[in-house]
Amino acid sequence: MGNLAPRWLCLVFIFAAVVVAHADKALELRYIMYLTGQHDVVPEQSLVANITHVALAFMRAEIFNNPGHNEWPLFTTIDDARPKFAKETVIQVAIGGWGDTKAFSTAAKTAESRNIFAENVKAMLDATGADGIDIDWEYPGGNGEDYKTPGHLNVDKAWETDAYPQLLAAIRAAIGPAKTISAAVPGLPRDMLAFTPSTIPSIMASVDFLNIMTYDLMNRRDNVTKHHTGLQLSIEGIDAYLDAGVPPDKANLGLAFYVKWFKTAADVDCSAHPVGCKTQLMEDPGTGADLGKAGAFSWHDEVPFDLATSFAKALENGVYDEVGGGQYYWDGEERLFWSWDTEEAIRKKVGVVGKGKGLGGVFAWGLGEDAPKFDHLRATNDAMKNLETTGEEVGESYRERSEL
């Protein structure tokens, strides 16, 4: 009994230290935007004042496989992009992207190929003045665009699970600790082939943080409707990484500044249960080809002509699912399921970073996708500001997770 008091006191001190440390941390939340070649639009400085990192997407991966390469084509230059953001903003070059997998396989294959790739990353950083890179290999170990192509099946890519951390390590060795390395990683557990308790430690040894793509969580490979950027599915994705050993403050939550639609089955009335309703076949089971029954467009895109009426109805009549956490609408005439984030949905989703997780921050795909109104960016700005003022709450929940 005698030593109960000191122990109790000790716990209080530890708790206080965690709260203080984490309140501090809350002020340093990462706030990342992808800036894409498709929508190279940056709003006025005041709206991007608190953006900590910008990842310019994309530079093709294949150019890093040529020894001594010295041309670095990108839709913009670092010098053009940098003055559009706050002075301290870290400017990264995002390499790869959906469908750009072959070159990463080539790069990862041997110690020699990994070094060629890594030396070229260093040469690119030196030549462009970028502060770091974001590796968008979608995905190491398989399940990418080519996952049904003979020779590129998941079984052919099993070796990549071990090679991926080695590629990251080679890049870190080449560019040193001062430059930023992040990786965009899949948000669906079914795609996390290379992200397991045995690989996570070596991945995390080389990267500064992971951008967990908690969007496209419904895609053409699904058979029932889901929220593509939904709260519940996002939490499941994040938890899979935390459970595999990713430190919470190295995990960033992904936001989507775009809308998705899916064709539901012709013979099924989804009106009673629009979420979880059967879709049409959206991907060719043999070739993996897109059958045109699902699609996406950003807030900056013109709404495709044949979808405009249905989307107007969705915006007018869409509802927020309090269970799954996502805005949706089912159009019974067109048999279309719509999934997107309203400003309110974004505020709720950003709350995940603080409430219960103590995550490192958020990122969005992408900044210009929200032009010209930037309403979703504004909502994210507000939500991030709100997180900063609730640092204590972040500390408390982090304590729960780390089970002192």
Ligand X SMILES: *[C@@H]1O[C@H](CO)[C@@H](O)[C@H](O)[C@H]1NC(C)=O
Which of helix, strand or coil describes residue 303?
Answer: coil
For ligand X, the binding residues in 64-123 under the rule CB under 6 A are none
Residue 388 in the binding site for ligand X (CB under 6 A): yes
47 or 123: whose CB is closer to ligand X?
47
Quote the longest CA-to-CA distance of the chain: 77
Tell the smallest beta-carbon distance from residue 79 to ligand X (Å): 24
3-state secondary structure (DSSP) of residue 258? strand
Residues facing residue 328 across a β-bridge? 319, 339
Pick the closer one to ligand X by CB: 44 or 333: 44
Among 23, 41, 47, 296, which residue interacts with ligand X (rule: CB under 6 A)? 47
Contacting ligand X (CB under 6 A), which of 82, 148, 221, 399? Answer: 221
* Sequence-separated contacts (24+) of 14-18 with Cβ below 8 Å: 14/404, 15/399, 15/404, 18/395, 18/398, 18/399, 18/402, 18/404
Q: Which CB sits closer to ligand X, 47 or 173? A: 47
149 binds ligand X (CB under 6 A): no
Which residue, 33 or 61, has its beta carbon nearer to ligand X? 33
* Residue 153 lies near ligand X (rule: CB under 6 A): no
* Cβ closest to ligand X, residue 119 vs residue 393: 393
**Judged by CB, which is closer to ligand X: 133, or 387?**
387
* Amino acid identity at 55: A
Three-point CA angle 14, 18, 23, nearest 5°: 150
Report how many residues bind ligand X under the rule CB under 6 A: 11
3-state secondary structure of 145: coil
Q: Which residues contact 256 (CB under 8 A, 6 or more apart)?
A: 215, 216, 228, 229, 340, 341, 364, 365
Tell me if 49 contacts ligand X by CB under 6 A: yes
Considering only residues 15, 23, 43, 50, which one is a binding residue for ligand X as defined by CB under 6 A? Answer: 50
> Which of 273, 278, 373, 385 forms a contact with ligand X (CB under 6 A)?
385
> Is residue 268 involved in binding ligand X (CB under 6 A)?
no
Which range, of 16-24, 43-51, 227-235, 241-249, touches ligand X by CB under 6 A?
43-51
Distances (CA, A) of 22 to 31, 187, 211: 16, 25, 20
Q: Between 50 and 128, whose beta carbon lies closer to ligand X?
A: 50
Strand order in the sheet with 336-340: 294-298, 258-263, 336-340, 326-331, 319-321
Rounded least distance, CB 287 to ligand X, Å = 14
User: Pattern 174-213, binding to ligand X, x per CB under 6 A?
Assistant: ----------------------------------------
Residue with tokens 């093709």: 60
Question: Of the ranges 332-340, 350-358, 368-376, 381-389, which one interacts with ligand X (CB under 6 A)?
Answer: 381-389
The CB-nearest residue to ligand X is 381
Q: Least separation, in Å, of the C-beta of 49 and ligand X?
A: 5
Smallest Cα–Cα separation from 189: which of 245, 240, 244?
Answer: 240
Sequence-distant (6+) residues with CB within 8 A of 278 are 223, 224, 264, 265, 268, 270
In DSSP terms, 263 is beta-bridged to 336
Q: Which residues contact 218 (CB under 8 A, 6 or more apart)?
A: 225, 226, 227, 228, 260, 262, 339
Contact between 293 and ligand X by CB under 6 A: the answer reads: no
Closest to ligand X by CB, 234 vs 381, is: 381
Per CB under 6 A, 289 contacts ligand X:
no
Q: Does 290 bind ligand X (CB under 6 A)?
A: no
Which C-beta is closer to ligand X: that of 164 or that of 261?
Answer: 261
Distance CA 226, CA 312 (A): 20
326, β-bridge pairs: 321
Q: What's the rounded Cα separation, in Å, for the pair 339 and 370?
A: 16
Residue 390 touching ligand X (CB under 6 A)? no
Contact positions with ligand X (CB under 6 A) in 222-261: 222-223
Contacts with ligand X, residue ranges (CB under 6 A): 46-47, 49-50, 221-223, 285, 381, 385, 388
